[in-house]
Amino acid sequence: MSLRLTVIGTGYLGATHAVCMAELGHEVLGVDVDPDKIGALRAGRVPFYEPELEQLLAKHTASGRLRFTTSYEEAAEFGQVHFLCVGTPQRKGSDAADLTYVDAVVEALGPHLTRPALVAGKSTVPVGTAARLARRLAELAPAGARAELAWNPEFLREGFAVQDTLRPDRLVLGVRSAAAEALLREVYAPVIAAGTPVVTTDFPTAELVKTAANAFLATKISFINAMAEVCEAADADVSVLARAIGHDERIGARFLRAGVGFGGGCLPKDIRAFVARAEELGTGRSLAFLREVDAINLRRRDRVVELARELCGGSLLGKRVGVLGAAFKPESDDIRDSPSLNVAARLRLDGADVSVYDPKAMDNARKSHPLLGYALSAEDAVRGAEVVLHLTEWREFRELDPAALAPLAHHPRIVDGRGALDAAAWTDAGWDFHSLGRAPGA
């Protein structure tokens, strides 16, 4: 059955959720405080790059099932379920999550709720937030409005956001009543009917499922990157090691590729916020290892900078470095805490003449890092380079022809910071090929 849903906060998560809820057959109103974002979405433009999203947005703005507004009055009047999808970035000067935006939604929506409504949080929040917001909602909602809160964390991956929303691995419903669970099951009825497992639980467990999942993924990446550090010291090859341990089903091959590490608007800030929250709860020791996970991750960026310097003969001053990639991951234009841009900025600071190219993230990169040099294509980034760094694993980069590129570089030297290029093909084409997790010069 079609429900009337609002999706509050139309960034990477919210815009995708709004469009996908319309695809499931619901009437959806997207809400944001940013009038430019709402203007773009109304005009059928997704203000970021995400495969499949723009076509679905066009389909549902045309079908009339999907509209956008900046008005909380309109949202409260319209919605039976309000999905809370605003950002929870790292607080300035602290590891903890900044809950200003989440709080602001409840403050703005609560007083306008005149009809029975379920507010379903999707943002990633520290455990205990949902219970606090539920209390605040009860204070703010007019008597008789019957406003209830639920926590329904989101696990989508940028680059696969549409698929992950329509066909998620699981749904987690943190609820305090059978009515709230029933309503969320109605929202996701087609997804559940397709066989998606549903885990129904309390608020704190639902909140923790999300942060625990991210902590596990970050740990897996830093585990293999720690092995890469050891391999570099021991003259071993981490890519062979990863393949061999990945055959063990208990370990699994995915998320075991050594490289320049994770970035983006989620994993780094989520593991820090998780540690900060555990410390507040008096159980900081339980998550102390996540500080090391973070440190290992950041050391990989240092390693790439160091390697580039070594390959440039000990000094980066005036050396041209081509950087392939600016987004924190492929199939996205998201540059939040991007390892590539972080490395590029540090090379520039050390005097390198950096030339960055990314298939989708150039506009965002230019805005956030205006002092870096930018290339018009991968070929252009390689031209005249002393060393090329492959730091975002776009298919376009994997498909480059190393033989055609070799004559463009000043010195055909490449560091594969993602362990994704065909080493033999690049070496055969005359490139001096380096990757992380192998002894220098191996």
Residue 312 annotated to the active site? no
Examine residue 358 and tell whether it contacts ligand NAD (CB under 6 A). no
**Under rule CB under 6 A, residue 86 binds ligand NAD:** yes
For 168, the token pair is 């998620």
Least distance (Å) from ligand NAD to the CB of residue 238?
A: 27
Applying CB under 6 A, what is the total number of residues that bind ligand NAD?
27
Q: For residues 83 and 374, which CB has a smaller minimum distance to ligand NAD in the complex?
A: 83
Q: Does 316 bind ligand NAD (CB under 6 A)?
A: no
Tell me which residues in 236-295 interact with ligand NAD (CB under 6 A).
Answer: 265-266
By the rule CB under 6 A, 154 interacts with ligand NAD: yes
Catalytic one among 20, 231, 266, 312?
A: 266
Taking CB atoms, the residue at the shortest distance from ligand NAD is: 11
Looking at the Cβ atoms of 110 and 322, the one nearer to ligand NAD is 110
Q: Does position 68 bind ligand NAD by CB under 6 A?
A: no
21, 85, 183, 227: which one binds ligand NAD (CB under 6 A): 85
Interaction residues for ligand NAD, span 87-126 (CB under 6 A): 87-88, 101, 104-105, 108, 123-124
- CB closer to ligand NAD, 23 vs 232: 23
Q: Is 382 in the site for ligand NAD (CB under 6 A)?
A: no
Among 3, 5, 7, 12, which residue interacts with ligand NAD (rule: CB under 6 A)? 12
Q: Which is nearer to ligand NAD, 101 or 255 (by Cβ)?
A: 101
Least distance from ligand NAD to the Cβ atom of residue 431, Å: 34
User: What positions carry a catalytic annotation?
Assistant: 266
Please report, as ranges, the residues that interact with ligand NAD according to CB under 6 A: 8-14, 31-34, 37, 85-88, 101, 104-105, 108, 123-124, 154, 156, 158, 265-266
